[in-house]
């Protein structure tokens, strides 16, 4: 059974800081890993998808890395902005899409 | 591309009534759609997998007679919450699966259901 864990559960940082969100998984036999963003009361927006053969993916200020052997992925956000405040979820397709519990990020001015 | 819509975005109903939620893939065909439920401050929990032209597959603990799923076309799946009760109040999110190598799920904006 695949279990996905995200640490920390919540994070509050001042604007401009670089930050790292962590995602760990128990079964390294994955096809890909996806990072999502969810604003309060809204659906999910896909941020980055890393295939199992890749080590990282970048989109703007976001960089996601994947280390299958250690069962870890990180989402790095550079120069954080108040608009980055949201819940960030990582998910792995394992028969079904299995989500971590999410990290609630607050970036204050 | 790959846009998924849900209708309605929010609904308030009386206890005992039935509510239908639609999930549409607007610019692609989806043979598989998924229905999730999300309670406040919790992550998404898969309720069922909806396959076009066949019966839905429900996750353990989800009542198939209460949550009716119909996937009649390649762009539309519906979830009907029958005889809704206050404990069914939740945020319901659908996703549609694309094919072509990445098997990426695209999510709808969600439907907020409040049962009084």
- Measure CB to CB from residue A101 to each of B43, B102, B106 and give the nearest one: B43
Q: How many CA atoms lie within 13 A of A89 on its CB side?
A: 23
Determine the distance in angstroms separating the CA of A69 from the nearest CA of chain B, rounded to an integer. 21
Check pLDDT > 60 for residue A79: yes
Burial of A13 (0-12, 13-18, 19+ CB in 10 A): middle
pLDDT value at A21 more than 70: yes
Neighboring chain B residues of A34 at a CB cutoff of 8 Å: 104-105
Q: Nearest CA to CA, how far is B2 from chain A (Å)? A: 11
Q: What is the pLDDT of residues A23-55, one digit of tens each?
A: 999 998 888 899 999 998 888 998 999 988 999
Of B43, B91, B102, which has the smallest distance from its Cβ to A49's Cβ?
Answer: B102
Give residue B100's pLDDT: 57
Listed in sequence order, the residues at least 6 apart from A71 whose beta carbon sits closer than 8 Å to its beta carbon are A24, A25, A26, A27, A28
Contact B103 A96 (CB under 8 A): no
Please give the average per-residue pLDDT across A68-91, as a whole number.
Answer: 96
Triad A26, A31, A36: Cα angle to 5°: 80
């Amino acid at each position: 059974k695949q279990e996905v864990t995200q640490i920390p559960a919540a994070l509050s940082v001042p604007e401009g800081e670089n930050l790292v969100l962590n995602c760990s998984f128990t079964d390294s036999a994955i096809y890909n890993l996806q990072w999502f963003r969810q604003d309060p009361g809204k659906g999910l927006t896909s941020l980055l998808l890393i295939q199992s053969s890749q080590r990282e993916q970048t989109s703007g200020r976001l960089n996601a890395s994947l280390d299958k052997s250690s069962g870890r992925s990180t989402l790095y956000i550079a120069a954080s902005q108040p608009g980055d405040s949201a819940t960030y979820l990582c998910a792995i397709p394992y028969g079904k899409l299995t989500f971590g519990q999410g990290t609630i990020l607050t970036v204050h001015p | 591309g790959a846009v998924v819509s849900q209708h309605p975005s929010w609904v308030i109903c009386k206890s005992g009534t039935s509510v239908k939620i639609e999930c549409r893939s607007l610019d692609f065909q989806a043979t598989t759609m998924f229905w999730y439920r999300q309670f406040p401050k919790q992550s998404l929990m898969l309720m069922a997998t909806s396959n076009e032209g066949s019966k839905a597959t429900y996750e353990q603990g989800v009542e198939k007679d209460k949550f009716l799923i119909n996937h009649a076309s390649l762009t539309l799946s519906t979830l009907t919450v029958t005889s809704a009760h206050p404990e069914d109040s939740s945020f319901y999110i659908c996703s549609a699966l694309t094919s072509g190598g990445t098997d990426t799920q695209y999510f709808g904006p969600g439907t907020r259901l409040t049962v009084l």
